Amino acid sequence: MILQWLKRQLTLAAGSSLTKQLSGRYINNTDLLAIDVELTSLDAKATDITSIGWVAGKGGQLSLSSCEYFVINTSAALGQSPVIHGLTHDILAQGKPLAVSLDKLMPLLQSSVLVFHNASLDLAALNKAFIELSLPVIDVIYIDTLKLAVYQLSKQHQVLPTNSATLTVCRQRLDLPSCPEHNALDDALATIQLLFAQFEQFGLDQTSPLSQLLHTKALGKYRLGETQDR
């Protein structure tokens, strides 16, 4: 009972802190950074990053000049990654060290609200990398387009249809054009475009505060570089 009470209090405190951090953040003045990582597996504790891509956006516009894409030099077991992402050991051998990509990414992490489709997996993979590379601990704010989609779908379905919340299907449902899949940069671009469409779906305009999405549980905080207790 006491443990459950403590967990509830911590959850309430975290929610209050996030609300404060979102104060003054509106659609038109918030720097967004969509990030996607391609991984060797879906096991967050064991997975390794094989590629990473990101793109910035603000006020409903994405910045193509901000696009970055890195293939990561790793000798990790690839599992189905070559089949899904097309990244073989030969291709990865020509890639950059993970530290190089994260060194370029880090200055953007705290100045932006991060955007993911399936934030829990991507953040766990990034956190694992931060710990392994002994990078400084940083707190980030994120928004998860997957959770926004699930929130809307749950209004119509008690049990979500299979594959109804994939990035591709979510885009199709909002009449966004098809785009290439399973490339980190392509997926980052697809994710930020999806978010802009979801803003409209939720009735938000340029002057709307991001905090209007707190009830969806799609907004959150995460501490990168620290062992997670959840």
CA atoms within 13 A on the CB side of 146: 18
Could you say which of 3.40.50.300, 3.30.420.10, 3.30.559.10, 1.10.1740.10 is the CATH number of the domain covering 26-224? Answer: 3.30.420.10
Question: Can you read off the two tokens belonging to residue 178?
Answer: 């098809």
Binned at pLDDT 50, 70 and 90, residue 28 comes out as: very high
Rounded average pLDDT over 133-150: 97
Q: Is the pLDDT of residue 78 over 80?
A: no
2-16, 101-115, 137-151: which has the minimum mean pLDDT?
2-16
Q: Quick one: pLDDT at residue 181?
A: 79
Q: What is the pLDDT of residues 6-24, one digit of tens each?
A: 444 445 445 568 999 999 9
Q: Is the pLDDT of residue 25 over 50?
A: yes
Q: What is the pLDDT of residues 37-53, one digit of tens each?
A: 999 888 878 888 999 99
Percentage of the chain exceeding pLDDT 90: 70
Q: What is the pLDDT of residues 161-191, one digit of tens each?
A: 788 899 999 999 999 999 887 899 999 999 9
Task: Determine the 3-state secondary structure of 195 from DSSP.
Answer: helix
Could you give the CA distance from residue 192 to residue 145 in angstroms, rounded to a whole number?
9
Could you give the CA distance from residue 99 to residue 230 in angstroms, rounded to a whole number?
26
